Copies of this chain bind each other. A is one copy, B any other.
Amino acid sequence: MSFSRVAIVGLGLLGGSTGLAVREMLPGMATSGWDADPATRQRAAERGLVERVCETAAEAVEGADLVILCVPVGAMGEAARAILPGLAEGVTVSDVGSSKQTVARVLAEALPGIAVIPAHPVAGTERSGPDAGFASLFRNRWCIVTPPADADPVRVAALCAFWEGLGAKVETMDAAHHDLVLAVTSHLPHLIAYTIVGTADDLEGVTQSEVIKYSAGGFRDFTRIAASDPTMWRDVFLSNKDAVLEMLQRFSEDLTALQRAIRVGDGQALFEQFTRTRDIRRSIIEEGQDDARPDFGRSDHGGSA
């Protein structure tokens, strides 16, 4: 079994990239799509994110054997209800949401009797909207598929093959474990970045102009992910509350320990913590999950040797 017609619902960064990637890497596959925003639909048609941009969700999914919901996690239920009248017999419905337990429950409720296999390609940039997508977004990135216990293994294998066809590496896992892993590798980092950028914005003794001018000292790194789509991230935190709060608690404890080390002048504790964190970066680069060049290969100071 392999899919021959994919419908993409939601044509922002993830949906648009999926469409472009299919058109480039799986050219035999038919693509259609829809977005709730008319301006996004128009732009999607202009960029050719999918072959056929439709006026309704139900029309977009007609005849598709794979439907991928690429909307914020909080909009999944609504999107599922919108596609239901158009779904073909035997269709497989999936998604790209960043939390998986909530999405699995919402989609199962909204699509009774339909084969739902949630998934999450761990890829993105800080951009959003129909102009943000690009075909190589998933290349060498991991896509996590979280099949329900009663999922058809043949469909699961077909969905995995679909993502591999777009250049991704695929792992399957339990939705609860996904939510715990992503809480630390994605959700907590975003929450912390949003927080510190807000903290810097609120200071009375330091001007915003100073924060901007001297941001190359480290702060600017955080502003990238803090520029991510607010709706998407609001929904992530509301839908993965328990795992995020658990990770946040652990982070706060660790931060308190370093705070204490600074207060009492425990240089040895600081040095030990700062030494062991180097190894993780090395491993991430060795695994091909980040740019090996210094400073991410940023070009703004004229390149780094």
Complex interface bits, A269-305 against B, C-beta within 8 A gives 1, otherwise 0: 0110111111011111001111111111111111111
Q: B residues within 8 A CB of A98?
A: 217
By the criterion CB–CB under 8 Å, are A296 and B298 in contact?
yes
Complex CA–CA separation, A184 to B208 (angstroms): 11
How many chain A residues sit at the interface, stated as a range, is 35 or more
Complex CA–CA separation, A182 to B206 (angstroms): 10
Q: B residues within 8 A CB of A288?
A: 300
Complex CA–CA separation, A192 to B221 (angstroms): 12
By the criterion CB–CB under 8 Å, are A245 and B262 in contact?
yes
Known pairs A213-B287, A219-B184, A296-B224; A251 contacts B127 (CB<8 A) = no
Which one of B199, B251, B283, B292 contacts A196 once the chains associate, using CB atoms below 8 Å? B251
Spell out A's residues near B (CB within 8 Å): 74, 98, 122-127, 132, 134-142, 144, 171, 180-182, 184-203, 205-206, 208, 210-228, 230-231, 233-235, 237-238, 241, 244-245, 247-248, 250-252, 254-255, 258-259, 262-263, 265, 267, 270-271, 273-278, 280-284, 287-305
